[in-house]
Structure 1
Amino acid sequence: MKLGYYPGCSLEGTAKEFDHSLREVLKLLEIDLEEINDWSCCGASSAHTTSHLLSVALPALNLIQAAKQGLEDVVAPCAACFNRLVASQHEMKYDEKIRTKVEHLIEDKFVDVTKVVNIIQLFQKIGVEKIKEKIKVDLSELKLACYYGCLLVRPNDLLHFDDEENPKMMEELITACGAKAVEWNLKTECCGAAHSIARTDIVEKLCKNILDDAVDHKADMIVVACPMCHSNLDMRQRNISRHYTAHRQTPVIYLSQLIGIAMGIDFAKLGLNLHFINPVPLLEKKILKEAVL
């Protein structure tokens, strides 16, 4: 199976373990990735606060390139990239005025032939049964809180992905890997996203609430599918611990890493050593058959 791939900026920088772990897992699942040639930034959280035209044009440029390569399906692992690509595609398809302006700006024609999916949709498309066939590690003692955040599920009428208040698709994948998915309250609450630099105080409070709720519901770790969410929930825990001495540090890992752990992929290849809160000690204690270290 061949699939188009839009890594986006984060997966080549601060979230490179997301990229590495996804590639390792898809290799075992016999999925070939074809990266969009000469891809560029989608604008993420900054473009649409600066210029609406730019926020549509930047993702459209990548969609046009994907169409030229004949890529009918493209996975965008970053939730922000996924959200912006789908939003741009919708506007280019249904708003003739904005499409005309964008095509004039980028000097190219838009053709709507590419379906953009996020990482959860990708694994659902591959199928839980195929994933189960590759499982080598017993994760039955591991309790996980699945965190979706804002951008994977909203706006629902545009993304058409799961229930925007109580999504379940990630839990289905976690269960297929043999782990237990806990029920909790804040799986779709905002972590503060791009306010991480400008308003660290707000992001810290939001992240503390999310982390506390996961722990209160007996989660050992949190599983995410968004680089920004991971950055906030993982990196901000040191500050949270300084300000709230009772805070229990909780590992935060990507969905692709969790699936890779279940498949027995080398921890280093999955990038588990790159997180601020090291998940390895907990994993070594919880998994019943160790993956190769």
Structure 2
Amino acid sequence: MQLLIFIIFYPILWFISLLPFRILYFFSDCTYVLVYRIIGYRKDTVRKNLLIALPHLSEKERRIIEKKFYHHFVDGFFEMIKTRTISDKELYKRFKFTNLEVYQNMEKQGKSIALLCAHYSSYEWLVSMNKHISFKGIGIYKKLRNKYFDKLIRDIRSKFDADLVDTKETINVIVANERKGIKGVYGFAADQSPKLSKAYHWGEFFGVKVPVHTGAEMIAKRMNMNVIFVKGRKIKRGYFEATFVEMVDNPKEVPNYQITDMFLKMVEQQILEAPEYYLWTHKRWKYAAKDQE
């Protein structure tokens, strides 16, 4: 069944990836109507999240953000597909780094790097940084159930010299690389909600206590890795930039969970600047503080 689904959808995805951006965004606009106005994909979740995060805004203001979010959300899906055939030149024109020297200075310290980011702006195109770095670029992700689409995602990333490692294999891969003398920059999109069984820390996110992922911090401490936050920004449709923010270069000396809490505050600040570019469809507050009892 997995192969059949892949055979049916892959030609469609390939065709979409070949479209010029002007036509690609025309299809995105049409899909927005379907996803937002007809299907209403996770609209209740989005509205609940926006109310929790932005209670100071009026309902009308939140509805404006909601509509902008869905436009951005659907654009992001098509941009991800476009990555399959986009040229290096085109991607570098559309996704720029404002201060690569911050990252490069950390490389000079000779330690592997934990790169933290949120599901914000064009996090999928962060993969383009691998053309600008010396360390091995590895993205930490949750393996897709369909092994054929999972391989497709891996192939797309490999275009830009990036490897993907399943969350369950992360520590083993990092330890093996360190033993071999391979320095890496490991990308963690750690802003979403973990399973309660894996919630070792509750942090405050928009004034609400929620379970948070702590794996990136714990790995950074164990392997003595530098830690960087990547702040994304959308310039206009199809154009983005990213800024590196140095967090810590001595993780073992930082109290437990302080790095994670710092990360949450950075994500929160980023969202407040332009909330329409965050991934609001995720049930970030589904456990909230009441489940600590």
Give the strand-richer structure, 1 or 2.
Answer: 2
**Structure 1-normalised TM-score?**
0.31
**Structure 2-normalised TM-score?**
0.31
